[in-house]
Amino acid sequence: MEIDTISTGSCSKEHQTIFQEWFNYADEDGDGRFTGNDATKFFAISNLSRQELKQDLTFLNCS
């Protein structure tokens, strides 16, 4: 799965800046896309179990 466009227009400028900083950190190859490899490495730093991540991502998909 690849996420290359996310609308941040409804967020505050502060949240847009934070989002962009985290996105840039997660997009290791700098191609402007958050791919499966990027996600795996990014979420690994959370030290959450796969089950916890699955629950969190399921919640995000419903939001």
| Helix (H/G/I), strand (E/B), else coil: 55 | helix
Please name the residue that has the structure tokens 């998909």.
61
Q: pLDDT tens digits, residue range 5-58?
A: 555 567 789 988 988 998 898 888 889 888 888 888 888 888 888 888 777 666
DSSP states along 7-40: --TTS-HHHHHHHHHHHHHH-TT-SS-B-HHHHH
pTM above 0.85, yes or no: no
CB under 8 Å to 19, separation ≥6 — which residues?
6, 8, 11
